[in-house]
Amino acid sequence: MAHKVNSKKSPLVISFTSGKGGVGKTNISTNLAYIFGSRGFNTLLLDADLGLGNVDVLLGITPKYNVFHLLSHQKKLHEVIYKTDYNFSILPAPSGLTDFVRLTPGQKLEFLDALDPLEDELDIFLVDTGAGINDNVLYFNMASQYRIIILTPEPTSLTDGYALIKVLHQMHKINDFFIIVNLCKDLNEAKNVFKRLYVACDKFLNGVSLSLLGYVSRDKNVTEAVKLQIPFCMKFPNTKACKNLNTVASNILTLKNNETNIDGNIKFFWKKLLFNSI
Ligand SMILES: Nc1ncnc2c1ncn2[C@@H]1O[C@H](COP(=O)(O)OP(=O)(O)OP(=O)(O)O)[C@@H](O)[C@H]1O
Ligand SMILES: [Mg+2]
């Protein structure tokens, strides 16, 4: 039986972002989608890496339609949503459509309308963003209810993550960020990485609040599963990285259950996206 994230039926909307590329956003968001789906939540993963999306590659699937077909009215929402064999659905990214934010407000409004039905259907809506701090990345982060920054122990990941937080905070008044440290040895290393970011934000970005959601170990089974094009939590459920990610998933749900002010549903997501772009 499907659980509900909250009694008021509005999906939890979470973006995954990093600044730096190749830190594990797509692997983490895809496997969290698998975990949430397996726990009975109706879960949709939006591949928001428009133009370079690779959620489909990670899953070894070739969806016929993508966000572009929805935007260009060639297909309806439920024709574009691809139901995977892994207990969750994806809204695939177009390849070659890199100027999403240049769509007219009218087109975005239509997109908003097209996504409306999801508000009642979904429990969890995950958004895998691209690398960098470009307009698309900023828009999807602004529009989400929660933002998860993926870091690694590499100094460049910290500086890029910090830069993204700085832009979202200073230019777009976003104060709350959640952190997952990927590719690390253990919780201690994750805490050290988190602390370095925390100290920088505390010193230079007044009002920013950071929370550590957990970490994911560097694990050879992740790369193995990528090669096999199967979510690592499905292929290797007992591997370290999967256990770590299950803890992260539980932390995300606890967060949601403790929340009293629910304002992040699908409609809200896209409305914000729309208004911020006009
Ligand atoms: N915990 C891990 N252990 C081992 N390898 C990992 C782990 N997480 C990610 N990787 C490897 O890092 C590579 C990049 O991961 P992924 O594609 O998820 O990153 P990304 O942040 O989405 O990249 P991009 O910025 O290009 O979208 C993957 O090919 C995967 O093999
Ligand atoms: Mg990616």
pLDDT tens track, the chain, 278 positions: 344 444 446 789 899 999 999 999 999 999 999 999 999 999 999 998 877 888 999 999 999 999 888 888 899 999 999 999 999 999 998 776 555 544 455 655 666 677 778 888 999 999 999 999 987 788 888 878 899 999 999 999 999 999 999 999 999 899 999 999 999 999 999 999 999 999 999 999 999 999 999 999 999 999 999 999 999 999 999 999 999 999 999 999 986 666 544 444 455 555 555 455 43
Residue indicated by tokens 């100094």: 155
Give the residues surrounding ligand 1 with Cβ less than 6 Å away. Answer: 18, 21-27, 49, 130-131, 182-183, 216, 218-219, 222-223, 226, 241
* CA max distance for the chain: 50
CA of 56 relative to ligand 2 center, distance in Å: 11
Nearest ligand 1 atom to alpha carbon 29? 18
Q: What is the structure's pLDDT at 260?
A: 46
How far the first Cα of the chain sits from its last, in Å, is 41
What's the half-sphere exposure (Cβ side, CA atoms, 13 Å) at 139?
Answer: 21
DSSP structure class, residue 32: H
| Minimum CA distance residue for ligand 1 atom 8 | 24
Sign of CA dihedral 79, 81, 83, 87: negative
| Minimum CA distance residue for ligand 1 atom 31 | 223
Q: Which fold has domain 13-277?
A: Rossmann fold (3.40.50)
Enumerate the H helices of 93-186 as residue ranges: 105-115, 118-121, 135-143, 155-172
d(CA 100, CA 50): 7
Q: What is the structure's pLDDT at 258?
A: 64
Q: In the structure encoding, which two tokens stand for residue 239, read together?
A: 């591997």
Domain map (residue ranges) of the chain: 13-277
> Which ligand is closest in space to the CA of residue 244?
1
Strand duo 146-151 + 176-184: pairing: parallel
- pTM for the structure as a whole: 0.91
CA of 192 relative to ligand 1 center, distance in Å: 21
CA 274-63-29 angle, to 5 degrees, is 60
CA of 203 relative to ligand 2 center, distance in Å: 30
Q: What is the structure's pLDDT at 262?
A: 41
Nearest ligand 1 atom to alpha carbon 182? 1
Nearest ligand 1 atom to alpha carbon 27? 18
Q: What is the structure's pLDDT at 6?
A: 45
